[in-house]
């Protein structure tokens, strides 16, 4: 009970200090072992029951429940090994002081169970190896060949030949289906290729024809030169006509823009003149009203 309270006191002091770190914690001295010691366990618990309790905080790979050598009954304490060392820290912090079947558990770090020393033998350090009695290693299954599968079939089984033939038939159907699918994919791919190859071929032919000289150039150089001059003259004339049409269009657009601007200026001038005439008429009317009012006042007096 004193050990249980001491572990709880150390944990509370670390929490209150608020300066916890992995290297400064008291758990750091057990960083090379994932074993924990579970004491004051109820005698009725088996290895499976203990695994159910301690596996809340990690995967258990090994458990050593200490039993009496003569009677085989549990002595109330065990050594548990986790797959991850951090799980042992969680188990110590959370399970120590826990209540199971009216018994207060004592959970602390450990280096594993010690070997029984016989008379005349020197004490050896405990081996920190994973015995894997709680989590057996994964067995790698190799793929079996058809010959090995056939050899494993019981020859005396009357249905063995039927099952073998059925298995071979299903494998053959799968292979044929796969081959048919790949053939279909190749055919579909081939159907899409002609259009692309045709375009590529046309482009290549055009490029080759451009690079090759006209046979007439070799037979009649003068005629080929005249035809080239005619083509150049026609291209020059078309370029000139195009340029002229563009200039004409630009001049028309400019004339329209100028007319619109002049119209806008005339409209603005007219509006300004009208507003000025209105203002002058209003001022004259106000002056006349003032003069009439003054004359009326003078006549009254």
Answer whether residue 15 shows pLDDT above 80. Answer: no
207-246 residues labelled b (16+ CB within 10 A) or e (exposed): eeeeeeeeeeeeeeeeebeeeeeeeeeeeeeeeeeeeeee
Contact residues for 46 (Cβ-Cβ < 8 A; gap 6+): 65, 74
Write out pLDDT tens, residues 224-281: 566 666 766 777 777 777 777 777 777 777 777 788 788 888 888 888 888 888 888 8
| Angle ∠(204,207,211) on CA atoms, nearest 5 | 140
Nearest to 36 by CA among 88, 114, 90, 100: 88
Nearest to 77 by CA among 111, 38, 35: 38
Q: Distances in Å between the alpha carbon of 185 and those of 76, 171, 175, 196?
A: 69, 21, 15, 18
Answer whether residue 217 shows pLDDT above 50. Answer: no
Answer whether residue 45 shows pLDDT above 80. Answer: yes
Taking the model in full, what pTM does it have?
A: 0.43
Write out pLDDT tens, residues 139-192: 666 655 555 555 555 656 667 777 778 888 888 888 888 888 888 888 787 777
pLDDT confidence of residue 292? 84
pLDDT confidence of residue 177? 86
- Report the 10 Å Cβ neighbour count for 81: 27
Residue 110 β-bridge partners:
35
Answer whether residue 118 shows pLDDT above 70. Answer: no
Most confident of 53-57, 139-143, 153-157, 193-197: 53-57
Q: Is 74 helix (H, G, I), strand (E, B) or coil?
A: strand
Q: Distances in Å between the alpha carbon of 140 and those of 87, 135, 137?
A: 27, 15, 9
């Amino acid at each position: 009970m004193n050990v249980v309270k001491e572990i709880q006191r150390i944990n509370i002091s670390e929490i209150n200090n608020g300066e916890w770190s992995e290297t400064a914690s008291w758990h750091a001295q057990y960083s090379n072992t994932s074993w924990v010691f579970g004491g004051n366990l109820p005698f009725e618990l088996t290895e499976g029951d203990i695994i159910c309790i301690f596996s809340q905080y990690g995967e258990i790979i090994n458990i050593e429940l200490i039993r009496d050598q003569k009677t085989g009954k549990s002595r109330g304490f065990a050594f548990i090994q986790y797959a991850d060392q951090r799980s042992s820290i969680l188990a110590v912090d959370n399970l120590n002081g826990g209540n199971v079947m009216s018994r207060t558990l004592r959970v602390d770090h450990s280096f594993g169970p010690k070997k029984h020393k016989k008379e005349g033998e020197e004490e050896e350090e405990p081996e920190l190896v994973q015995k894997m009695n709680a989590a057996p290693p994964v067995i790698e299954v190799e793929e079996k060949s058809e010959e090995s599968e056939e050899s494993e079939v019981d020859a005396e089984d009357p249905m063995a030949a039927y099952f073998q033939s059925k298995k071979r038939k299903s494998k053959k159907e799968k292979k044929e289906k796969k081959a048919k699918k790949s053939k279909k994919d190749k055919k579909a791919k081939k159907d899409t290729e002609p259009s692309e190859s045709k375009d590529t071929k046309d482009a290549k032919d055009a490029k080759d024809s451009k690079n090759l000289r006209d046979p007439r150039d070799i037979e009649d150089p003068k005629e080929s030169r005249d035809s080239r001059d005619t083509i150049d003259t026609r291209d020059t004339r078309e370029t000139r006509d195009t340029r002229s049409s563009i200039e004409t269009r630009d001049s028309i657009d400019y004339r329209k823009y100028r007319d619109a601007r002049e119209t806008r200026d005339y409209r603005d001038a007219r509006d300004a003149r009208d507003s000025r005439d209105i203002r002058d008429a209003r001022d004259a009317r106000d002056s006349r009203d003032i003069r009439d009012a003054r004359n009326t006042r003078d006549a009254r007096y």
